[in-house]
């Protein structure tokens, strides 16, 4: 398979070889980070370095504010479990949105990309930094002083400049920035007292029990540093690739770009009139290209996504939203080939009346 034809980096990114190289001694070696012998101390030092690296990239003054988890989904669940009255943007990842939909809170209203005022009765507001489906950069609405803000940084870390944080907690995952699957963190930057989601051995200063995933944590720290160091060049490459695609498909009829006023260059969402996303994806897959119809965790669900509904797209557009997402290995040549293949697929599907 040609990794250059992989345009689904918002779902997951390939493991960076330099990250793997840093992980290898801990994948092949032994040592529990909480053991007192030299093997354990070596693992503990590696975890401490990863925590310091991540803190540096995030701008955390105290590395101790960062607790390693299995990923942003766990981090979000942990944060939500500590609050009774939650409100969330209509664009949140399913780890938050499903909890809201099940009765654990309510969604904020949407008008374009402007979020409505928060209810003063809420004690937690969840608003992600970057939409994982459209790439829109979101802001938290006005909130009462007592309400905490949980910000999902999964599509923001190493991809956009993180301004001086106004949020109280942030979740993230390693595998969106060239790191390994199954590891992430919760940054509790204001020191809110959180009850653990997972109890047991009291690891991670009693905040999250369980034997630490040392190689994964090492990989997260390494990936965060590399992503931050390469942010400008990757952003420029993503901007160029999305520009090539938009230029190539400009002559096609019946489509809409879902860019927001403030937009991450790493995600390009397109809505196609009267077409369903799945046949488009299948046509491109047959040409060796990987894109998606939205978040990977909900890609098998029938009907338009929650985000498509929240954007109040016309019914003819809602089922035809595709997501093209970039990272390190997408170049101008393959972006052009993808755009050509996309144009052919759209013309073919329209001629066949595929909806």
Residue range 262-321, pLDDT digits in tens: 999 999 999 999 999 999 999 999 999 999 986 555 555 556 666 777 776 766 677 889
Catalytic residue IDs: 297
**Distance between CA 240 and CA 238 in Å, rounded?**
5
* Residues 83, 87, 89, 94, CA torsion sign: positive
How many structural domains does the chain have? 2
Please tell me the predicted confidence (pLDDT) of residue 143.
81
pLDDT at 110 over 70: no
Q: Which residue range forms the structural domain that includes residue 302?
A: 3-12+231-352
Tell whether the model's pLDDT for residue 345 goes beyond 50. Answer: yes
Helix (H) or strand (E) segment spanning residue 124: strand 124-126
**pLDDT tens per residue, range 224-246:** 999 999 999 999 999 999 999 99
SS3 20: helix
* Whether residues 214 and 240 fall in one domain: no
Nearest to 127 by CA among 93, 81, 172, 85: 93
Q: Same domain, yes or no, for 221 and 169? A: yes
Q: What is the pLDDT of residue 102?
A: 82
Token duo for residue 313 = 């797209």
Q: H helices then E strands: how many in the chain?
A: 10, 12
Last residue of a domain, one of 174, 207, 229: 229
Residue 143 belongs to domain with CATH number: 3.40.640.10
Angstrom CA distances, 134 to 33, 41, 81, 116, 151, stand at 39, 43, 27, 19, 17
pLDDT band at 113 (very low <50, low <70, confident <90, very high): very low
Share of the chain above pLDDT 70, in %: 90
Which one of 187, 210, 229 terminates a domain?
229
């Amino acid at each position: 398979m040609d990794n250059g034809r992989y345009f689904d980096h918002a779902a997951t990114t390939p493991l960076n070889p330099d990250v793997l190289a840093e992980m290898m001694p801990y994948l092949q070696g032994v040592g529990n980070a909480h053991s007192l012998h030299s093997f354990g101390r070596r693992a503990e030092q590696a975890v401490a370095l990863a925590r310091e690296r991540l803190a540096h990239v995030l701008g955390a003054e105290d590395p101790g504010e960062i607790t390693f988890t299995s990923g942003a989904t766990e981090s979000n669940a942990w944060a939500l479990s500590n609050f009774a009255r939650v409100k969330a943007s209509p664009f949140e990842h399913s780890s938050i949105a499903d909890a809201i939909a099940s009765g654990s809170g309510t969604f904020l209203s949407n008008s374009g990309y402007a979020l409505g005022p928060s209810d003063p009765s809420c004690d937690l507001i969840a608003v992600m930094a970057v939409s994982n489906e459209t790439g829109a950069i979101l802001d938290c609405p006005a909130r009462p002083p007592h309400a905490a803000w949980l910000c999902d940084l999964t599509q923001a870390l190493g991809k956009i400049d993180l301004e001086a944080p106004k949020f109280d907690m942030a979740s993230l995952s390693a595998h969106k920035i060239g790191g390994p699957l199954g590891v992430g963190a919760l940054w509790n930057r204001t020191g809110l007292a959180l009850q653990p989601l997972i109890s047991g051995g009291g690891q991670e200063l009693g905040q999250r029990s369980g034997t630490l995933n040392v190689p994964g944590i090492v990989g997260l720290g390494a990936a965060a540093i590399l992503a931050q160091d390469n942010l400008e060049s990757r952003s420029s490459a993503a901007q160029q690739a999305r520009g090539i695609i938009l230029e190539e498909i400009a002559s096609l009829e019946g489509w809409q770009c879902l860019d927001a006023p403030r937009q991450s260059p790493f995600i390009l969402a397109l809505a196609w009139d009267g077409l369903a996303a799945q046949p488009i994806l299948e046509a491109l897959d047959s040409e060796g290209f990987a894109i998606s119809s939205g978040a990977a965790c909900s890609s098998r669900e029938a009907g338009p996504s929650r985000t498509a509904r929240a954007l109040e797209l016309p019914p003819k557009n809602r089922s035809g939203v595709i997501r093209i997402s970039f990272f390190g290995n997408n170049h101008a040549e393959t972006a052009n080939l993808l755009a050509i293949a996309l144009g052919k697929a759209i013309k073919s599907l329209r001629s066949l009346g595929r909806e």
